[in-house]
């Protein structure tokens, strides 16, 4: 992007009970179209960032976070006051935490770079960008 990339970006839930800080650099930013993300967030797709767990600090409201085990390997934490979904973790990549970009206060060190689980997208989703689209069983296989 440019040389105004922040070193740290704050974030939080809708009600403000949970506040956290993410230290750059992140490892990924992309749009997930999987059914679980769509249902959990009530959205066409969820724009996630992925960052090393050690770069995420919950500054306030850790005791307001409730964890929902959304699959065999993954769980999602949300604010029990306002319902905002904040952190997604998976035993498939235990060092990584996924956070919705929309819950951060401002721009991070990268822009969304791809669509994943694109073949699971809602039938009414129309995409107007040229980003690569991935899917298949892993959600990240190249689509033909
Ligand atoms: Zn909240
Ligand atoms: Zn997803």
Give the distance (Å) from ligand 2 centre to CA of residue 3: 31
Task: Write out the residues surrounding ion ligand 1, Cβ under 5 A.
Answer: 13, 15, 17, 79, 81-82
Question: b/e for 55-74, b at 16 or more Cβ within 10 A?
Answer: ebebeebeebbeeeebeeeb
> Can you give the pLDDT of all 144 residues of the chain as single tens digits?
556 788 999 999 999 999 999 999 999 999 999 999 999 999 999 999 999 999 999 999 999 999 999 999 999 999 999 999 999 999 999 999 999 999 999 999 999 999 999 999 999 999 999 999 999 999 999 997
**Is 41 strand, coil or helix?**
helix
The CA distance from 7 to 109, in Å, is 8
Q: Residue 105: beta bridge partners?
A: none
- State both tokens at 15: 């009600």
Give the distance (Å) from ligand 2 centre to CA of residue 21: 22
pTM metric for this prediction: 0.94
> For position 5, what pLDDT does the model report?
83
Give the distance (Å) from ligand 2 centre to CA of residue 32: 5
> For position 116, what pLDDT does the model report?
98
Instruction: Write the CB contacts of 2 (distance below 8 Å, at least 6 apart in sequence).
Output: none
Q: What is the pLDDT of residues 55-83, one digit of tens each?
A: 999 999 999 999 999 999 999 999 999 99
């Amino acid at each position: 992007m440019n040389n105004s990339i922040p070193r740290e970006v704050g974030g939080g839930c809708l009600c403000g009970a949970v506040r956290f800080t993410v230290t750059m650099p992140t490892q990924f930013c992309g749009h997930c179209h999987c059914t679980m993300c769509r249902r959990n967030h009530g959205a066409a797709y969820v724009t996630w960032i992925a960052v090393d767990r050690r770069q995420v600090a919950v500054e306030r409201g850790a005791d307001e976070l409730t964890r929902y085990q959304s699959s065999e390997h993954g769980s999602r934490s949300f604010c029990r006051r306002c319902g905002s979904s904040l952190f997604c973790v998976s035993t498939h990549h235990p060092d990584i935490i996924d956070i919705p970009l929309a819950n951060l206060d401002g721009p991070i060190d990268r822009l969304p770079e791809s669509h994943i689980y694109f073949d699971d997208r809602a039938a009414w989703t129309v995409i107007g960008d040229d980003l690569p689209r991935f899917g298949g069983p892993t959600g990240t296989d190249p689509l033909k």
